[in-house]
Amino acid sequence: MTVGDLSDAELCGLLRAQRFTLRVGPFLVRLRSVMSEVQAALALLYRAHEIDTEADGAHFVIRLDHPGLVRRFFRAQAQLTFDLRQPFIPLPASMAAPMLEAGLNWCIGNYAHQFLVIHSATLERGGRALLMPAPPGSGKSTLCAALVTRGWRLLSDEFALVDPTTGILVPVPRPIALKEGSIDVIARWAPDAVFGPSVVNNEDETVAYMQPPARSVRDSGLTCRAGWIVVPQYVAGADATTTPMTRARALMHLADNSFNYNFHGRVGFDRLVAIADQAPSVTLRYSRLDEGVDAVDRLAQTGAP
Amino acid sequence: MTPEARDGRGLDLLLAAVRSPQRLVAMSPPEWGALIPSAEEARLLPRLASDAQRMGLTSGLPDWTRGRLTSALVRGQEFERAVKWEIDRVHRALLPAGLRPVFLKGAAYIAAGLPCGVGRVVADVDILVPEAELPRAQVALQQHGWEFEPLEPYDERYYREWMHELPPMRNRDRGTMLDVHHRILPKTGRIHPPTERLLEEAREVSGISVLSPEHMVLHAAAHLFQDGEVAGALRDVVDLRDLIEQFGQDPAFESRLVAEAKVLGLGRPLFYAVRYARLAGCTIDFAGVGPWKPSAPLLAGMDHLVEQTLTRPDTTSGSLGAFALYTRSHWLKMPVGLLLRHVTRKATRNFWS
């Protein structure tokens, strides 16, 4: 059963009764909330995700609710609780979706060290994965959103989850976070794309989430191996150019964008080396989305930069 | 405290698992679900994960339980690796200057391969150097990338004049914290264990200097319940249990321990340490600490505070117990006038900021 199969009343009931357990890639996420904003965000952005009402527990147990009675009725706020912690300050209730996404990112970044976790948009085509490791602000989510509307399968716009011993990449498809101008760019690029409401976040940026393709969510059990590494750099006005990276540079780039390769010691280091060895790597400077997408497609077709 | 934090069931399960890791064998999935957050909060999840792995339990668990335990296990291994590297770096800074620091607490447990070093969560590395060598140690560390955190003048004075350590130092490159001690208890306290004796008796283990077994136990005893948090309290008790059970296997240990407690003036803290290590399932009891037993009403009071703090932080008496133990730890550190000043200062600053 998927979230889309539930009526509003059923979704609301499960969320209130702490029986709403979502399958998000390799993770079970149990959510509890009385907030209509949370229900709306889930119904829209997690429509294709499976739920497991019989689960006997979850990797991440999250509550997203008003911090108190006052903040339920007066300038309503939301606060996120994970385990026994409240990692974020309460924010306006309208920001429920960004809080949920930030909360999940925080959980995966801090409590999923069974994986080697790399800060990277990750997509798949022809059984091989494209990694776009980059810090926030480099345009990786924008390019990722554009690629998933052109036949690429979404593994994640935020994380590459690598099994440290086998090197297998595990999909964790979730809504794609777009900021500021990227929202309109993608809305024009893919008129059929479904977006949640645009809200202004804590850093005064407008954020909107794009619904992940249903096929990517359904296929989240299909794992693959690294095939290409593309480091995107949005440069205003630039023509799309790809420049090959040495394996050493690619390795350093993976390490810089990894949350925890050091946690895995020798195994983690060797795994990053193996990925840099097997996946041709380029930097991609671009400003116009169609050129960027074409450049990635060409790379994937030729198999080499 | 949030409503979720008042999770008495998780804490009961954590205490049961701490007392007897065998309890993990029969843990049901809902029990794991209650245990994991409490263990995480008490900084004991990597340790429990390691116990579970040693007992071969992980393969039979639901995927989500195994995921969280494996994650904690990996984090525990990282603590071990990072601490050993940090020790290496501290040595590189201090050995050429002719200074051989004695490593304390978590860093020592891990590097010496002691049972309480397994899956030990370590927030900072603590070292002990002679007070006369402090300026040289400070300079050598600063030359190797350690810096003092910006401090308010009051905090600077708190550390330099009253405490037993330099203000905390942070390594510029790794962000790791280092506490440089010249005593194990503050200057202002009522007990002054002589640092010279600790340094004289220090041992070489796996290439580093650590306190002698007796002093290790006494140091842990002196710091029991010091941070006034339940989280810290239970882990401290687990440390003590492991140290006592490890060193207590030597029949001659007790008499040496009691003799050193006399020399350092730490008889009463040792009495409490031995008594409350039993709460974590410690099976060794040292009769030799009997003479330091406090009066019956005082002991009943302490028993109550500790019991409430460790097992019932969800109740008012539990939080009061934690507060009372916290106050007591400061009582050991400072005379009452200074204590009042310090607490007032802290309270007003927190209030205004």
Arithmetic mean of pLDDT, B265-276: 94
- Supply the pLDDT for residue B1: 38
| Chain A residues inside the 8 Å CB shell of B40 | 83-84
CA separation for the pair A299, A229 (Å, rounded): 10
The number of distinct structural domains making up chain A is 2
Using one digit for the tens of pLDDT, what is the confidence trace for B116-171? Answer: 999 999 989 999 999 999 999 999 999 999 999 887 877 777 777 766 778 899 99
ipTM rounded to 2 decimals: 0.94
Q: Is B111 exposed, middle or buried (0-12, 13-18, 19+ CB in 10 A)?
A: buried
Nearest-by-CA chain B residue for A84: B5
- Structural domains in chain B? 8-75 (no CATH), 76-211 (3.30.460), 213-353 (no CATH)
Q: Is the pLDDT of residue A22 over 90?
A: yes
User: Do residue A89 and residue A224 come from a single domain?
Assistant: no
Answer yes or no: do B33 and A57 touch at CB < 8 A.
Answer: yes
| Arithmetic mean of pLDDT over chain A | 93
- In this structure, the answer to whether residues A27 and A91 fall within a common structural domain is yes
B328 confidence band (pLDDT: 50, 70, 90) = low
Q: Residue B280: what pLDDT?
A: 93
CA closest to B11 among chain A residues: A84
Q: What is the pLDDT of residue B344?
A: 59
Q: Each residue of B161-197: pLDDT tens digit? A: 766 778 899 999 999 999 999 998 887 777 889 999 9
- How far off is chain B from A26, nearest CA to CA, in Å? 9
Q: Is pLDDT above 90 for A253?
A: yes
pLDDT the model gives residue A203: 82
Check A27 against B29: CB less than 8 A apart.
Answer: no
The answer on A70 and A22 residing in a single domain is yes
Structural domain including A174 reads 116-302
Could you tell me if A107 and A121 lie in one domain?
no
**Token digits for A52?**
């497991």
pLDDT of residue A226: 96
Backbone φ and ψ for A159, nearest 5 degrees, come out as: -130, 140
Q: Are A300 and A130 in contact (CB under 8 A)?
A: yes
- Could you tell me the pLDDT band of residue A71, with boundaries at 50, 70 and 90? confident
A81 plus A133 within the same structural domain: no
Q: Cα–Cα–Cα angle for B83, B88, B92, nearest 5°?
A: 145
Closest residue in B to A21 (Cα–Cα): B64
Encoding tokens for residue A256?
């810089």
Q: Which among B71, B77, B81 has the least Cβ separation from residue A112?
A: B71
What per-residue confidence (pLDDT) applies to B312? 65
- CB pair distance less than 8 Å for A111 and B68: yes
- Model pLDDT, residue A153: 98
Q: A95 — alpha (psi -120 to 50), left (phi > 0) or beta?
A: alpha
Selection from A164, A158, A173, A169 nearest residue B73 by Cα: A164
Please state the φ and ψ torsions of residue A302, each to the nearest 5 degrees.
-80, -20
Both A89 and A128 in a single domain?
no
Closest CB to B78: pick one of A83, A86, A263. A263
Residue A170, pLDDT > 60, answer yes
Q: Who among A56, A61, A263 is closest to B75 (CB)?
A: A263
For B81-125, what is each residue's pLDDT tens digit?
999 999 999 999 999 999 999 999 999 999 999 999 999 999 899
Are A96 and A124 in a shared domain? no
Residue where a domain stops, chosen among A111, A144, A174 = A111
Are A103 and A201 part of one and the same domain?
Answer: no
For residues A174 and A286, state if they share a domain.
yes
Among A63, A84, A264, the strongest candidate for a mutation testing the B interface, having the largest count of B CBs within 10 A, is A84
Distance between CA atoms of residues A65 and A77, nearest Å? 8
Q: Give the nearest chain B residue to A107 (CA atoms).
A: B68
CB contact under 8 A, B70 and A85: no
Q: How far apart are CA B87 and CA B101, in angstroms?
A: 10
Contact B38 A63 (CB under 8 A): no
Cβ distance A84 to B30 less than 8 Å, yes or no, reads no
Give residue B159's pLDDT. Answer: 72
Residues of A in contact with B68 (CB under 8 A): 59, 111
Q: Which residue in B71, B84, B85 has the most chain A C-beta atoms within 10 A of its own C-beta, making it the best mutation to test that interface?
A: B71
Tell me, yes or no, if A304 comes closer than 8 A to chain B by beta carbon: no
State the pLDDT at residue B29: 94
Out of B40, B64, B71, name the one closest to residue A58 (CB): B64
Instruction: Write down which residue in A63, A94, A111 finishes a domain.
Output: A111
Chain A residues inside the 8 Å CB shell of B63: 26, 28
Q: CB distance from B71 to chain A under 8 Å?
A: yes
Candidates B6, B50, B59, B64, partner chain A, best to mutate (most A CBs within 10 A): B64
Examine the fold and report which residue of A64, A92, A111 is the final residue of a domain before the chain moves on: A111
Kindly compute the dihedral angle of the four CA atoms of residues B138, B141, B145, B146, in this order, to the nearest 10 degrees: -50
Same domain, A136 and A104: no
Residue A2 tokens, joined: 């998927």
A84, B40: Cβ pair inside 8 Å? yes
Dihedral class, residue B282 (left if φ above 0, else alpha if ψ from -120 to 50, else beta): beta
**Residue A169: per-residue pLDDT:** 98
Nearest Cα neighbor of A134 from A285, A297, A293, A265 is: A285
Q: Is the pLDDT of residue B290 over 60?
A: yes
A60 and A141 both lie in a single domain: no
Measured in degrees and rounded to the nearest 5, phi and psi for residue B126 equal: -115, 130
Mean predicted confidence (pLDDT) in A168-172? 98
- pLDDT tops 50 at residue B5: no
Strand A225-234 vs strand A206-210: parallel, antiparallel, or unpaired? unpaired
Query: Which residues of chain A make contact with B38, given a CB cutoff of 8 A?
Result: 84
**CB proximity A264 to B under 8 Å:** yes
Q: What is the reported pLDDT for B331?
A: 54
Residues of A in contact with B2 (CB under 8 A): 81, 84, 86
Distance from CA of A139 to the nearest CA of B (A): 28
Residue B337 pLDDT > 80, yes or no?
Answer: no
Residues of B in contact with A112 (CB under 8 A): 67, 71
B65 neighbourhood in chain A, CB within 8 Å: 57
Query: In the predicted model, what is the mean pLDDT of chain B?
Result: 86
- Find the residue in A nearest to B33 (Cα): A57
- Which residues in B lie closer than 8 A to residue A260 (C-beta atoms)? 74, 78
Q: What is the average pLDDT across A95-111? A: 94
What distance in Å separates the CA atoms of residue A220 and residue A214, rounded to the nearest whole number?
10
Report the share of chain B in percent with pLDDT over 70.
83
HSE toward the beta carbon, residue B169, CA cutoff 13 A: 24
Give the pLDDT confidence score for residue B351 in this predicted structure. Answer: 46
Percent of chain B with pLDDT over 90: 65
B-interface mutation test, from A30, A59, A85, most B Cβ less than 10 A away: A59
Please tell me whether residues A158 and A291 are part of one structural domain. Answer: yes
